[in-house]
Amino acid sequence: MKSIAYSALLLVGCAHGTTSEAKPGGSTPSDRVATASTPEAAANISPSEIEKHLRFLADDTLEGRAVATPGIERAAQYHEDYFRALGLEPVFGGSFRQGFSLRGSAPDPKATLTFVAGKERITPVLHDNFVLGGHREDCPGTVEGELVYVGYGIDAPGREWNDLKGRDLTGKVLLVEVNEPGNEPGGIFDGEAMTYYGRWTYKFEQAHRLGASGVLIIHEDRGASYGWSVVRNSWSKEEFFLAGGDLRSCFQGWIDRGTAIRILKAAGHDRDDLFRQAERPSFAPIPTGIHVTAQQ
């Protein structure tokens, strides 16, 4: 893992009225801003005007508006010009820009993940079977722990659902399902519409709150709503996050379904049976007897 610090910015402005339409370098702000009511302003929204902005900001010449590229500077300048044309006023001492700090974490191309169940040692292939990341600088390069299957890893009092049942998971490596239980029409967590409890960000933050050393999400095409190629590609490049206040364990990642089946079977567990248990409110964390070693 390679960690790099960056500075970034937000563009913020304020105005005392409602705008109907504006163009950088076009009509004067005074005839674009202020007195129209909300319905009148909405009626003046132009699809072609919106499309023009989207086409510029999505253009390849802006390099994806990536951090620390000329493209993001061009995008920021475009927004500033537009804000001024709207008649917005800068909030921060005459500037629309508010600086903040990011850190970038590049995945280790030599990362390894090893599972030991009894006498069997399983080493899946990076990118083909697993992806791994970790951007905490206070963690060692090698992290070990017992693998505990925690179902969906959800603690949602408002939904009367708790997969954790008060178990101490400090230092463990959590194996967790993607999405939420009842991922179908009429399900307890809004059916097929995923709530935050189903997102991978929640799973990683939850593992940190529980004091886990690491967390691995089992990938399923339907549950994730995208194929393994999306996971592989997105975890093969630098990740950006706010500097400080990190809410991640020492490592986090994904494993594909086939790898999950294989490692669980080696320890005497049936992956489909565990999944069925995770769909019930009575579920509680299950120690797998598998030892995990992550190196990155």
Tens of pLDDT, residue by residue over 125-161, are 999 999 998 877 778 889 999 999 999 999 999 889 9
* DSSP letter string, the chain: -EEEEEEEEEE-EE-SSB-S---TTSS-GGGTSSB--HHHHHHT--HHHHHHHHHHHT-GGGGGG-TTSHHHHHHHHHHHHHHHHHT-EESBTTBSEEEEEEEEEEPPTT-EEEEEETTEEE-PPBTTTEEEE---TTS-SEEEEEEEE-TT--EEGGGTEESSTT---TT-EEEEESS-SS-STT-TTTTTS--GGGSHHHHHHHHHHTT-SEEEEEP-HHHHTS-HHHHHHHTTS-EEEESSS----SEEEEE-HHHHHHHHHHTT--HHHHHHHHTSTT---EEEEEEEEEE-
What pTM does this model have? 0.73
Q: Give the pLDDT confidence score for residue 97 in this predicted structure.
A: 86
Average model confidence (pLDDT) across the chain: 85
What is the C-alpha radius of gyration for the chain, rounded to an integer number of angstroms? 24
Distance CA 202, CA 294 (A): 21
Residue 170 has pLDDT above 60, yes or no: yes
Higher per-residue confidence, 283 vs 27? 283
Question: Per CATH, is 108-295 categorized as 3.10.560.10?
Answer: no
**Which residue in 174, 154, 173 sits closest to 165, CA to CA?**
154
- Residue with the bigger pLDDT between 34 and 61: it is 61
For 89-108, the pLDDT digits (tens) are 888 778 888 887 777 777 78
The domain limits of the chain are 2-104, 108-295
Q: For residue 57, is pLDDT > 70? A: yes
Please, which pLDDT band fits residue 16 given cuts at 50, 70 and 90? very low
